[in-house]
Amino acid sequence: MQKRRLGRSGPMVSSITLGTMTFGEQNTEAEGHAQMDRAFDAGVDILDAAELYPIPPKPQTTGRTEEIVGSWMKARGNRDRVTVATKVVGRTVMDWFRDDGSPGRLIRSQIVEAVEKSLRRLQTDVIDLYQVHWPDREVPGFGSNPTRWARVEPASDETAIEESAAVFADLVREGKIRWLGLSNESAWGTMRWIAAAEKGIGPRPIAIQNAYSLLNRTYEVALAEVGEREGVGLLAYSPLAQGYLTGKYAGGALPEGSRKRLFDRLQRYEKPGTAAAVDAYVGLARDFGVDPATFAVAFTLNQSCCTSSIIGATTPAQLETCLAAARLEWTAAMQQAVDAVHQRVGNPAP
């Protein structure tokens, strides 16, 4: 497994990150432990979680994912060999994260409460990478990188980036987090966090976790240059477009146990034009004699803008298929082929 520097000054991490958002919902604690065992045997050394997880978010399960990650590290005694990443929620109407029932905001009291709770659940003294799951400000759409702009009115109680950044600076000084990361952020937002750091207000973000896949290459439009020039590494999430790029939903199929069948939360990847794009990429993978899931993950691993790709699985077989991407030789012919399809279909699922 290849190791890469995360950002300008972050840790060396594996080119594949294990996502854990199914732990505590679709996967039991034992199954989560087994996945982490296998991933780390394969060379993965970074885990991604969130206070929000597991998905779908609900009061009854919030925090279970971090608890499972924490119990695994304690049982294996390997905390010093794991890069632990987790997240604090941004602006949200969900009101079950905070003890006083407040809806989520990136204000000091909420960030501090979130960090303390994550530390307890993870059974650790420090979080390696602490990420802002999504912005506090109102944005045109989740992910902050639309292909068409739609103006939104700022919230009357919007928390300034500089205000949040100052809290993270204190948490770094206190030794509770090592590095700051962003998620679902835009080029503008990323530069504002960087500008705040350059003014001495907060820590400089070393990573950004955004959606990045064959169906959504919007990261390349503006953020890739920001990442390269400013030293912010991409942790690519949803490289399989929530399972669509495996081909399992082709023709309207609804496999037993699939996220679409269980939760019907995949609308981001069901927009006009996505079905034809999925068929094109799945067909391309098969033309090259590669499993479509392995092919899709390998695409992200082999783009210069991506530091590490976050894989997620609910079964051992799915995990093996994703891990195989690290061993696939990505050729110039493969790159030319996917670029040709992208030229034709664009980014149907931003």
> Which residues have a catalytic role annotated?
53
Distance in angstroms (rounded) separating the CA atoms of residues 221 and 147: 10
Distance in angstroms (rounded) separating the CA atoms of residues 250 and 6: 35
Distance in angstroms (rounded) separating the CA atoms of residues 172 and 98: 22
Distance in angstroms (rounded) separating the CA atoms of residues 281 and 20: 26
Tokens 């990478």 sit at which residue?
129
Specify the amino acid at residue 258.
S
Closest of 33, 35, 29 to residue 16, by C-alpha: 35
Specify the amino acid at residue 122.
L
Distance in angstroms (rounded) separating the CA atoms of residues 326 and 302: 9
Closest of 273, 281, 297, 204 to residue 247, by C-alpha: 281
Specify the amino acid at residue 265.
R
As a whole number of Å, the CA-based R_g of the chain is 19
Classified as helix, coil or strand, 311 is strand
Burial degree of 265 (CB within 10 A; 0-12, 13-18, 19+): exposed
Distance in angstroms (rounded) separating the CA atoms of residues 223 and 226: 5
Specify the amino acid at residue 282.
V
